[in-house]
């Protein structure tokens, strides 16, 4: 039975650290590395989604957690946060789709669950710190905490952590900050971990890999409607606007339509009021915008003093950094002007800002994008 430790000054190698362990190789190796450093390590597995159809992998993931923790020699627990996930993340996810936007629930999952109830539970277990298997860095300077890109830029996950608060950053360690993925797998192999070659999880946070359209149908009623080209010609029928995103080419089922120019169709606009999906062919200049507005900004570590500044931005995960100029409208809203026009800026996604050294300045939700002449694109 674990007991809460008294708050005493700890040596850096003498901390109780609760690790969010998922059953994947990254969090497993994070546990091992921390134990090797002399810490008391506890694995905490989070169940954030419950289903009876067998598509959720929580049970088999927890079996991996048991095997890993027994191999490493650390205690482990399972906690159920499915209600918190539904209330704080999934309802937001559904609301955004109802509005015709394309949300990124993984960002909110980190802020609201992995660094919310999980952090609270860790403190109940007497944790001095929590840790995760994210590829990201934390930097402390002058009493403030900064988020930065991991050394393995191919796996860097700082984009998904852009909404973390100072208190959350203060409490977390990222053991994989300076390690690349091949090295993580190599360590797991040397330890004989059964999940050393386990595939990385993809798809929506804690919902797993499944047919997205079928999944969404369970929660939002589909409303089929017309697909029109920009001249107003009907070229097909859509299954429901929530299933489509700007720039999408696959799944439109209108490729062989007569009168087309033979080039691929792509989504250009969604008219929610009239339930119409607009598409175009060939040149996709209509998808390119020159600036955007974003809201719900979370600044790391704080609101900048300069109301205008240049930096770099990502508008989607894995996108190369784009040079931008940021205008701070208020503490929660910004305008972002692009040095080079950007394709398919998607409302509901996050714009995440970085300095030239890869330090994350914060992020916010994309609301709208425009061309230089003021025409709204998204």
**Which stretches of the chain drop beneath a pLDDT of 70?**
1-13, 51-56, 202-210, 256-261
> Could you tell me the residue range of the domain that residue 238 belongs to?
234-283
Answer whether residue 119 is part of any domain. yes
pLDDT confidence of residue 181: 97
Q: Among the three residues 134, 168, 191, which one is the final residue of a domain in this structure? A: 191
Indicate if 163 and 240 belong to the same structural domain: no
pLDDT confidence of residue 45: 96
Answer whether residue 207 is part of any domain. no
Indicate if 184 and 52 belong to the same structural domain: yes
**Could you give the CA distance from residue 302 to residue 13 in angstroms, rounded to a whole number?**
30
Q: Among the three residues 253, 283, 313, which one is the final residue of a domain in this structure? A: 283
Answer whether residue 157 is part of any domain. yes
Indicate if 86 and 145 belong to the same structural domain: yes
The reply to whether 311 belongs to the active site is: no
Number of domains into which the chain is organized:
3
Answer whether residue 70 is part of any domain. yes
The reply to whether 109 belongs to the active site is: yes
Indicate if 33 and 171 belong to the same structural domain: yes
Indicate if 102 and 179 belong to the same structural domain: yes
pLDDT confidence of residue 5: 42
Indicate if 180 and 264 belong to the same structural domain: no
- For residue 266, list its beta bridge partners: 280
**Could you give the CA distance from residue 60 to residue 364 in angstroms, rounded to a whole number?**
35
**Dihedral (CA of 23, 25, 27, 32) sign:** positive
| The two three-digit tokens of residue 289, written as one number | 């915008």
Q: What is the CATH number of the domain that holds 296?
A: 2.40.30.10
pLDDT confidence of residue 57: 76
Identify the active-site residue in 31, 56, 69, 109: 109
| The two three-digit tokens of residue 45, written as one number | 């597995």
Indicate if 113 and 240 belong to the same structural domain: no
pLDDT confidence of residue 158: 98
Answer whether residue 198 is part of any domain. no
Indicate if 239 and 307 belong to the same structural domain: no
Indicate if 267 and 326 belong to the same structural domain: no
Indicate if 137 and 52 belong to the same structural domain: yes
Answer whether residue 9 is part of any domain. no
Indicate if 136 and 250 belong to the same structural domain: no
Answer whether residue 226 is part of any domain. no
pLDDT confidence of residue 122: 95
Q: What is the CATH number of the domain that holds 277?
A: 2.30.30.280
Distance (Å) of CA 119 to CA 81, 146, 178, 353: 12, 18, 23, 25
pLDDT confidence of residue 324: 98
pLDDT confidence of residue 65: 97
pLDDT confidence of residue 12: 57
Indicate if 279 and 141 belong to the same structural domain: no
Identify the active-site residue in 56, 69, 205, 360: 205
Q: What is the CATH number of the domain that holds 53?
A: 3.40.50.620
- How many CB atoms are located within 10 Å of the residue 253 CB? 13
Q: Among the three residues 160, 175, 191, which one is the final residue of a domain in this structure? A: 191
pLDDT confidence of residue 9: 47
- How many CB atoms are located within 10 Å of the residue 280 CB? 18
Answer whether residue 64 is part of any domain. yes
**Could you give the CA distance from residue 239 to residue 252 in angstroms, rounded to a whole number?**
9
């Amino acid at each position: 039975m674990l007991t809460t430790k008294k708050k005493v000054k700890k040596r850096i190698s003498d901390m109780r650290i609760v690790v969010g362990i998922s059953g994947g190789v990254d969090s497993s190796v994070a546990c091992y590395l921390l134990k090797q450093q002399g810490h008391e390590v506890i694995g905490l597995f989070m169940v954030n989604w419950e289903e009876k159809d067998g598509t959720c992998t929580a049970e088999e993931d927890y079996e991996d957690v048991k095997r890993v923790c027994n191999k490493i020699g650390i205690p482990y627990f399972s906690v159920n946060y499915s209600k918190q996930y539904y209330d704080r993340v999934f309802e937001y996810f559904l609301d955004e789709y109802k509005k015709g936007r394309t949300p990124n629930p993984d960002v909110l999952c980190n802020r609201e669950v992995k660094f919310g109830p999980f952090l609270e539970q860790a403190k109940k277990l007497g944790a001095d710190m929590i840790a995760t298997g994210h590829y990201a860095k934390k930097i402390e300077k002058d009493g403030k905490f900064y988020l930065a890109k991991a050394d393995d830029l191919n796996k860097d996950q700082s984009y998904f952590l852009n909404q973390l608060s100072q208190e959350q950053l203060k409490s977390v360690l990222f053991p994989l900050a300076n390690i690349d993925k091949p090295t993580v797998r190599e360590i797991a192999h040397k330890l004989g971990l059964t999940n050393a070659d386990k595939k990385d999880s993809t798809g929506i946070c804690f919902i797993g890999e499944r047919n997205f359209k079928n999944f969404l149908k369970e929660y939002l009623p589909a409303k089929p409607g017309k697909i029109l080209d920009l001249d107003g010609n009907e070229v097909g029928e859509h299954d429901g606007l929530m299933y489509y995103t700007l720039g999408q080419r696959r799944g439109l089922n209108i490729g062989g339509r007569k009168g087309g120019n033979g080039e691929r169709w792509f989504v250009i606009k969604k008219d929610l009021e009239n339930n119409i999906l607009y598409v175009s062919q060939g040149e996709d200049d209509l998808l390119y915008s020159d600036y955007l507005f974003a809201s719900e900004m979370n600044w790391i570590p704080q609101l900048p003093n300069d109301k205008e500044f240049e930096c770099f931005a990502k508008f989607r995960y894995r996108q190369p950094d784009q040079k931008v100029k940021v205008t701070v409208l208020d503490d929660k809203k910004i305008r972002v002007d692009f040095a080079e026009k950007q394709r398919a800026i998607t409302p509901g996604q996050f714009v995440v800002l970085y300095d030239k050294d890869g330090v994350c300045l914060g992020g916010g939700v994309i609301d709208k994008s425009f061309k230089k002449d003021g025409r709204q694109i998204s």
